[in-house]
Each structure stands twice: as structure tokens, then as C-alpha cells.
Amino acid sequence: MTSPTINRTDLINLVITSLRDVLEQSGRPLPATIEENTLLFGKGALLDSLALVTMVVDLEQRLEEEHGLTLTLADDRAMSQRNSPFRSVGALVDYLEQLIHEEQSRD
């Protein structure tokens, strides 16, 4: 069975929507713009560790519900990378693309 496809623009929009929801739910201010270079986690970023976990869970749920993709975003592999896939919107989208490609290659 082939997994559904999702393009980069859709992934960017999904990450941004999830980020906005997490920021709103936690009462944090929304930045004027959110782009691929927007920092998610780390020094000067929008999210603390709890908000990041909330966003990861939200993204996993959205990917499954909206696109039929069952992915685990926060695992040993993600945490052991030299450059965190959670440092920015673009880095997270890159990581999502990689995971989706690997998932589709298994099908």
C-alpha cells in the first residue's frame, strides 16, 4: 500500500498552523510572521520544552488524521542529531520530508 503524498508547502502550512495553535493555547504572543527560518526551540525561540512536546503531539495527530501518515517525530534518532530537527520551522519540515520519504519507501 502506498502512503498518501504531501508536498513541502502543505507541510510548512501544517507546522505553522500547529505552532500558532500551541502559542495561542499557551497564551504566548504570536509573531507577526512565521516563516521557515522562524526558531521553534532553543535560545531566542518561540517554544519552551513543554510547548515543543505539545506541538510534536499535535503534529503527529494532524499528520495521521489529515494525511493518513503515522510518524513518530520525537525519538532517539531525532534527539541524537547534531542539528536538532526542532530548531526551526524549516528544519522540522526537512525532517518531516525525510520521515515521509522513508515511510513511503517501506511501502
pLDDT tens for 30-70 read 999 999 999 999 999 999 999 999 999 999 999 999 999 99
Q: Does residue 81 have a pLDDT over 80?
A: no
Rounded distance, CA 34 to CA 73, Å? 21
Rounded distance, CA 36 to CA 54, Å? 19
Q: Is position 74 within any domain?
A: yes
Single-letter residue type at 57: V
Task: Return the C-alpha cell found at 72.
Answer: 513518530
Q: Is position 1 within any domain?
A: no
Domain count, the chain: 1
Q: Can you tell me the mean pLDDT for 17-42? A: 95
Task: Return the C-alpha cell found at 87.
Answer: 530548531
**Domain containing residue 87:** 8-106
Q: Is position 39 within any domain?
A: yes
Contact present, 38 and 15 (Cβ < 8 Å):
no
Average pLDDT of the chain to the nearest whole number: 90
* Alpha carbon 56 to its chain's center: 6
